[in-house]
Structure 1
Amino acid sequence: MDTKSKNYRYSVWFKLLAVIICVSGMITLAYGLLQAPYFEEAIQNKEFRESMASKNIFQQVYYHISVLAFNYKSEENIKAGSALNEAEIADKKSYLGSQKETELQQAESSYYESVNTYQGYLNDRQFTIDSDGNVSDGSDIISGLKNDDILEKIKQLKEKKDNSIKEINEKYDKLLGDVEKDAINQQLADYKAQLGNLKNYHGIYYTVVQAGKNTLTNVAAGSAENYYSTLPISVKLTQSNWGSFFGNYSYSPYFIPSDTTVYFGMSQERYQTEVSSFEKNVARGLAGVKTSSLGLLLVLISLSYLVYSSGRRPGTDGVQLITVDMVYLDIALAISIPAIALCITPMAQFVPYFYRDNLRYNISLIYVIFSVIIAIGTLIGILFTTMFVKRLKRREVIRHTLIYRILRWFFRWLNKLAAGIKRNISGVFGKSPLAMRLILIFGGYSFIILFFTLILFASGGDMGALFGLAGIVGVNVVAVYFLLKNFKTFINIKDGTERIRAGELTYNIPEQGIPELRTLAGSINQIADGLKHAVGSQVKAERMKAELITNVSHDLKTPLTSIITYVDLLKNEGLESENAHKYLGIIDSKSQRLKSLTEDLFEAAKATSGNIAINLERLNVASLVSQGLGELSDKIEASGLTFKTGFPAENAYVMADGKLLWRVMENLLSNVFKYALPGSRVYIDVNQVSDRINIVMKNISAYELNVTEDELMERFKRGDASRHSEGSGLGLSIAKSLTELQGGNFKISIDGDLFKAILELPSCTE
């Protein structure tokens, strides 16, 4: 039932439906957000009188009124210059003054640059140019030299400069004199523009009362208080409530004076129009909120399902990948972001068209284009999301990026380079020949002796000579001590070698002295350890050989003795005896026992020699174990044992021979049926450790396991020391050999009565 449910949940049709719902939800969300400008009206849930829409209308009107009533006041006030801003006038004059100085300097510079081209001529005649630009010989201004072309050209340049300066002064004198006049004209133009703007507010009434007089109004004279109270909506502003009405934001920097009251109101017709428009906007805003909320809900539900089912397929375990998942995640992200941005950009161009009443484009066509763009962007986002989630489930987000691959290659190359440098350096300094080391030591000794000798003979005083002599004696003392110490180490190695040769294999030579002597002592110690191990292995092999012969003889002799005994009984009693049928059954059973022993011996011999054809293939270990247990279900039920299996979340594959691997598992299960404690549990776990697949089988032994793991792996060795069980003692040995033929490892572990067999095989990912 669970498998059917899983297949149903991971159905490709379900996934396709989720994608369609996600795209539809995103389009719905986008269409709802088109009404975002009206969300505020819908969320406020207020009447038009209290809404921001009404305040916005009055704020716009107030801006124009504040400029007219509080700044300009009237045309006469503007013409009199009372509305001028002295600071602005001063800034304007300062700016014009700066412009004037700049142009004067340019005129002067242009003149002197032109005159400088004739500087050589003037220097030859000892002429100079004074601060006013006149050419002089030091006493009088040169004049009447019309025949000299150079001086005539300089004179013309000076006249041009003087005319330019005069024009500049005249121009800016006029501009400076007209600053206030131009400002007044500009204010008059703005005053009329503000009045024109107020006239465009149809159905909006306003009155400004200053010191009890109506200074600005578009209604008939009379009591403003009474008039505005009759309007469907009106506002009375004073300095005390101005800030609370407009809040922290307003259209004007001009506050209401303390003696001023401003009235606003709407005509019945304008009021009805604004209320109708407001209610329409509220309805659009509510529809937009509901639509966008529904779209968001659909997106979240469908996207959650896609994330949950991403990489899952009916009938398979683990996270499955498709071709597009081979693209690195960072590359996919770099492609997805610009693609989605290209989808968003034209959408931003379409949005303004949805708020125009006089839309001259085909609205249906715009909706279709809008939907297609959103669908494309959503599909790109879903594709990247599923790619990311699959790698996240497989714990490969970082590893499946191009940046990670590049960095990993770089650091591997760096480690390889460092290892090569280290190897070369160690080859020079750690493995240098003894002769080279002695040369280096003797060279250092000679250099130090030469140094102190030069001090001894080159010094001019007794202290220098004494220092040189002391240095020579000290160096030689250290050298003799070094030689004696290493000679003693050599004697220790020689004596230790004699002791080991005499058979004292437990003796270890102290590893001292120079590196070569330490290496020599260590090598001799390793030889002694090897000899000790070889002797121990030989003794153990002889003992095992004797036990093997004893066990084989016992296992073959027992059924053979029974067969001979019951054959003699048949001879004596005859085939007509009432016990003949029982005797024949025992003879048949013992014959089958002999046959089984012979076949096990033959299979053990072939497995050990490797004379077995191996057909490696990609196998699912969990499926193999489950199928095998299913085939042995009758035997399991009859044994009274409870089998517990544990498999990894993802499929575990190995390269192995299916028949041989099952033969290994069959031998292990046969041991369980023979030696497991009745009524106990048997655990079979499959797990992946690095690049290896481990199959671990654990059970409680019915017999006391008073042997070691190595002994139990020997041939004809059984778990029951009395050898009363039906086993041959070859099962574990055969399992070990068959496992090693497939490139794996087989080992067992004993902890009290807990027996654990561990089968290790290389994993196969492809």
Structure 2
Amino acid sequence: MKKFSHSIFVRTVVFILMLVGVAGSIISALNIYDITDGNLEVIVEDSYLESHSFKLDYNTTIYQLADLIDVYKSKDHILAGNTLKHRGSDYESDEYTEEFKQELINYDLEDYNRILNKLNKHDGIIYYATDGKHTFTNTKQTEKSQFKQYPAYYISEDYDWEMYPQKLEHDFYSFGFPSIYRSSVPLDTKIFLGYTKDYLDTISSDWVEKKTETTDQIYYFFGYVITFFISLIYLTVTAGRTSFKDKEVEMNVIDKLYVDLNLISIFTILTFWVLGVNEILSYYLSTAEWALPAITIPTVSILTVLFLSVVKHLKNRTFIKHTLLYTVCHSIYRFVKAIFDNGSLGMKVTIIVILYPLVTVASLVFLPITIGIAVWLALKQVNAFNKIQEGAKLMRDGNLHHQINIDGIGELATLATNINGINDNFKQAVHNEIKNERMKTELITNVSHDIRTPLTSLITYTDLLKTETDPEKMKEYIDILDQKSKRLKVLTDDLFAAAKASSGDIPVELQTIDVVALVNQGIGEVSEQISEKNFVFKLNYQEESMYVRADGKLLWRSVENILSNIFNYGLERSRVYIDITYEVDQVLISFKNISKYELNISEDELMERFKRGDESRSSQGSGLGLSITKSLIENQNGEFKVSIDGDLFKSMIYLPRSEKSYSTNSSQE
């Protein structure tokens, strides 16, 4: 999946799926509108009698019956022009022509016939309406008790009215007062309306079927919408990338379009699309099923391409810099700056004279924006200054871990960075001072301990020698005195060497050294110790001659210290590996051996003076060898490291390669 997640094929398929989601959602929405006639309340309604469709049909029928007996009365009544007064007294005046009045009469006549046709269209709608003179009915039932037998009815007689189900009364009032009250003389006026059970069952069945079909279409609609958004999110995430680990953003020809022009294009296309959709829905609704997808799919395709281009610039952090406005302003700025940096005084004055009125006019026209920007910048600088002031106070009070965080690259940000740097250096200095004090304490303690031991032996055996007369014991005492004096000399020499090495007082003469030859010669000089400890040395190197820039004496002293460390602390009858390899512009000399003591100490602690892998301090080492080696190598512009992996101890010397080493490589190639 990671391999194909960003492929062109997968993205093309997802793009097509997105367009399918667009087309499907449009078709589903049109189907929902067509099924419900725009009445989406059917989705949440429980029954037909409580539905908006029934309430609207119920109320419309009542009003139509009221219009028949209150307004239209009869065909002759309409043709005589008596319905014009219901439109207002002005329609009966001579202000309107006879042709216009006749058009109104014809319209009323058409409405009269339309109402009668609608009422007589369904056998299940039973009605009886009369004002005492004019009667409209499709039944022989004339008593209100007969209409109360129907499952839904409306009864209005004189000033009284009643309807069932009673819950319809609230919705009925939302359309106005009962229709019977529209008559100026409601006496002798009756409107009886009833719906038969068979009619309601048939309509309810159709309503349930419509509700089910609408629900299915809604599921389709949301499925297509989710498909669209998931596809768009996927395209957004993968835009400009070839994999999830890719940090660079790939741009194409479309991405050369300026971001602000891109956004203007998106807004313009959306505007024309909205106007087109409104035109279709208003005047060409019958063609909407194919016309809406026909204009929407190309629109979405273009908008998606433009949108993904904007996303790429956001990922690439060029959203602002790749705008036409920024490009123009930046070009003007560079032009003006170039003139001020290199132009003549006359040219500078000319630029100021031209720019001053332009800036003044812009400030007047965009005064609120200018003031807003100025206030925002001022508050930002004040907040940054206060943050620096508070941070400096915390640092002064001793909080060395505090950092002043100021975004940007301005003067205050630079000042904050410098203060943080001072604080970091001071914190490091305090840490080093504490470490040095601790090391001094340990140095005094360890020196006192290590020197006092052989010195005590010297005093003790000297006193014994003064009184001893046995030649054999005297010889034994003299051997011990010789051993302890040499031990004391080693400790003293190492202490002075460590002091000189760390202070840098040792003179260094850098020259070209064949490190392979030096290590081979050193191994030969310590062959007796190797045999005594039963070590097996394995020397590996890339070339017969490998040259470094170093001081021969100091380098040998460093190698000797490492070998001495191996002899003192290495496991006897084990292998010692010495590898000499190239590391770019350096040569690495690594020594690997197995320790005979458990190395429960860190690399940093082991590099400190008088630290030993043998914490019992029973070995013959001074604990200064690695520290001296580190100082000597650093004096030669190199680096010394140690590594501990279980019982495996590794010493590594890094030294700069000599020019002769590079030339030797070239000639061999």
TM category, shorter: 0.3 to 0.5
For CA contacts below 8 A with separation 6 or more, give which structure has more relative contact order.
1
With structure 1 as the length reference, what TM-score do the two structures score? 0.41
